[in-house]
A and B are shown apart, each in its own frame.
Chain A
Amino acid sequence: MHHRHRAGVVHPRRAALAVALAVAVAASGCDLLTTEAPDPGEVFDGPVDGLTAAELAAFVRGDREFGRPFAPSEGLGPIFNNVSCAACHSADGRGRIENALTRFSIGLDPALELGGPQIQDKAIPGAEAERLPAGVQVSVRLPPPVFGVGLIEAIPEATILALTDSLDTDGDGISGRPNWVTPPDFVPADEPGGGPEPRLGRFSRKAQVASILHQVAGAYHQDMGITSDFLPVENRNPLASRATEAADRVADPEIPAGTVRAVVNYVRLLAPPAPGADSPPRRQGAALFGSLGCARCHVPVLQTGPNPVAALANQPVRLYSDLLLHDMGDGLADNRPDGSASGSEWRTAPLWGLRLMRRFLNGDAFLLHDGRARSIEEAILLHGGEAQTARDGFAALGPDARAAVLDFVGSR
Chain B
Amino acid sequence: MKKHAALRDFSMVIALALIVGFFALNSPQFLGPRNLSMLAIELSITATLALGMLLVILPGQIDLSAGSGVGLLGGIASVLVFYHGWPAPLAMAASLVLGIAVWLAMGTVVVRERMPSFIITLGGLLVFKGLFWLVINNRTVPVTAGAGANLYSLLTTYYLPKPLGYALALAVAAGWGWISFYDRRERIANGLEAEDGEMTFLKAFVAAQFILLFAVVTNQFRGIPLPFVILGVVAAAVTALTEHTPFGRHLYAIGGNEEAAVVSGIAVERTVITAFAIMGAIVAITGFMQTAYAGASTTTVGDLMELDAVAACVIGGTSLKGGRGSAFGVLFGALIMATLLNGMTLLAVAPEFKYIARGAVLALAVWMDVRLSR
Partners in one complex: no
